[in-house]
Structure 1
Amino acid sequence: MHWQGVRMTLLLRRAFFYLVTAFVALSLNFLLPRMIPGDPVSRMLQRFQGHLDPHAVFALRALYGQTNEGLWSQYLDYWSRLLHGDFGVSFSNYPTKVTTIIGQGLPWTLGLIGACTILSFVIGTALGTVAGWKRGGWVDGLIPVTTFLTSVPYFWFGLIAVYLFAVELRWFPLAGGYTPGIEQGFNFAFIDNVLEHAMLPALTIVVSSVGYWLLGMRNMMVTTLAEDYVLLAKAKGLSRRRVMNTYAGRNAVLPSLAGFALSMGFIVGGSIITEVVFNYPGIGYTLFQAIGGQDYPLMQGIFFIITVAVLGANLVADLVYVLLDPRTRRAA
């Protein structure tokens, strides 16, 4: 009963915190695009050098949903649409709905960035566990190399990979998510083509991020191995594998799990550089184009997805800590 009361208190406290955070973040989502100087209609009018009939100007602004309502009225309308799942119509892709554009780009981002994030976490955590258990071994020798690759700016690393493996060696396609003109669908030819285009960006993501997980897990393993319960497990004569995985590894992985949950939340926002470098048709590249075209509805829709993903990942990280670390329950 006591544990149930503690769990309910934690859930209510975190739920309130995340609701307030979501409200503030989504309010900023409304304000920030409107702080950018200019708008798409003004850009269009510049081509006519002011020689456009005022009625035509009014029609254009009405077409793009730019009314003369005050900021407060627009804010209330924004929340009303948001609660109904209506992000409006894209300015730069008129008359396509924002939800349609997001639905087209999101699977590409989740498929590439999501899979690579999981893969780099699994590889880095496994190698970090071995490196911490067998200090001075061959895995320890990988740490300087992986740390260097992690510290290199990703856009620079991606451009070098494109130049070497796509331009010079021609091992991989140069850019894009698939070859233009190929028949799209759930068939072997299209899937094989998509995987071929995803291989180079996937390799650069994994290689550049695995060092972060490796170093963090290795350091936590070194610290955990000095704990009394690990020494006691060794003294009992338990197998090395059981001590490493069950006693040391399970506790050492807690910070990495929290970091992994947060990185999953940043998949959408963190995909911008990757998709711009490789011209990949995901949600990050869509956001980049929306910012360039001052497409307010599309920007707000993508920022909404990012906000929900990050807050959801934070909530998952908190719950994982509560479930795996009894000390957080006692602290509550």
Structure 2
Amino acid sequence: MRYYARKLAFYLVAFWAAVTLNFFIPRLMPGNPVDILMAKLAQRGGTVDPAARRAYELLLGSGSDESLLSQYFAYLGTMFRGDLGVSVSSFPTPVSEIIADALPWTLVLVGIATFLSFALGVVLGTLVGWRRGTWLDSLVPATTVLAAVPYFWLALILVALLASGLGWFPLLGGYDVVLSPGWDLEFLGSAVYHGTLPALTIVLSSVGGWLLGMRNMMVSTTSEDYVLTAKAKGLRDSRIMIRYAARNAVLPSVAGFAISLGFVVAGSIITEQVFSYPGIGSKLLQAVQNNDYALMQGIFLVITVAVLGANLVVDLLYAVIDPRTRVSG
């Protein structure tokens, strides 16, 4: 119980630190971000009244007569109420609405692709490590080459070959523009069809890392005494490979998978940009290009919560998988 309490306390402190940094970073920027936001509002036909300026001063703390501590507590209050401000690049849409619209696209695309690459890499790494020295070892350099290819270059190659050349997949977008988003089969089929090529890009570029890591851990694990003892008992090779070697070899990969899951909500900016995919990564790039501090803060906050939450869950599960961590922790 003390182990779980310490873990929970650590992540609560980490969350508070991340939120505090999210508050101070815009206030450390040179110049007055509120003036920049007001100018952009005026360019887009927005009404720059005292109430709008006051709202951005509370969000970014620039030009306010209140103390920094008062601004900080006001920021915490609006954040916990779910009020993340209004986006300048999509004025007058609230930041929370933009994130809510873009996040499901990213969770489905990057989440499924990350899980597939992890599962495929772990399974192949287990087989390659268990049967090292066979033809399966040729999978390691093949997947490593794919991982070494620049991410945007691999995406462009797949677009040129499979979309533009063969016409198997659409060039861009998250769904057919003639359809209205909904839960009907036609729209879902179109979304899957448009997301297949971006997901394939993510899987091909990341499966090599999981495969190589699992393969190396399997090679190390197969020389352990408990594996040799299991072989001496005459147990089946498949049981030794799965129940003894792979079960222990996969532990470092589980920790890495937790970090990957946390960053799923950050999207894949390059992939979403190449395929014009309507995910959170493209919204983050849009926010940076337009100095949309409110949208940037909101996206960074969501990413922070997701990363900390994913790591907390896996830390707790890690203690169940390997009880030794509770003793050492």
Matched ranges for 1:24-63 at <5 A: 24-37=17-30, 39=33, 41-42=35-36, 45=39, 59=50, 62=53
1:55-110 CA-to-partner distances (Å, cap 9, x unmatched) read x8655952863463156133221111112222122222222222211111111001
Structure 1 residue 16, shift from structure 2 partner? 1.7
* Whole-angstrom CA distance in 2 between matches of 1:163 and 1:43: 39
In structure 2, the partner of 1:260 is: 257
Q: What TM-score, normalized by structure 1, do the two folds share?
A: 0.89
* Whole-angstrom CA distance in 2 between matches of 1:320 and 1:43: 44
Instruction: Give the SS at the match of 1:266.
Output: helix
Matched, 1:165 2:158: no
Q: Cα–Cα, structure 1 residues 36 and 138, in superposed 2: closer, same or farther, change >3 Å? A: farther
Conserved? CA contact 1:176–1:278, under 8 Å: yes
Matched ranges for 1:1-332 at <5 A: 8-37=1-30, 39=33, 41-42=35-36, 45=39, 59=50, 62=53, 65-66=56-57, 68-69=63-64, 70=66, 72=68, 73-332=70-329
Conserved? CA contact 2:171–2:275, under 8 Å: yes
Q: Cα–Cα, structure 1 residues 324 and 304, in superposed 2: closer, same or farther, change >3 Å? A: same
* Whole-angstrom CA distance in 1 between matches of 2:39 and 2:242: 65
**Alpha carbon RMSD of aligned pairs, Å?**
2.3
Letter of the 1:62 partner, please give it: R
Letter of the 1:22 partner, please give it: F
Structure 1 residue 329, shift from structure 2 partner? 2.4
Q: Cα–Cα, structure 1 residues 37 and 61, in superposed 2: closer, same or farther, change >3 Å? A: farther
* Whole-angstrom CA distance in 1 between matches of 2:36 and 2:227: 67
Instruction: Give the SS at the match of 1:304.
Output: helix
Structure 1 residue 184, shift from structure 2 partner? 2.6
Conserved? CA contact 2:158–2:201, under 8 Å: yes
1:105-130 CA-to-partner distances (Å, cap 9, x unmatched) read 11100100000011111111000000
Q: Cα–Cα, structure 1 residues 108 and 46, in superposed 2: closer, same or farther, change >3 Å? A: closer
Conserved? CA contact 2:128–2:136, under 8 Å: yes
In structure 2, the partner of 1:52 is: none
Query: Which deviates further from its counterpart, 157-166 or 174-183?
Result: 157-166
Conserved? CA contact 1:108–1:282, under 8 Å: yes
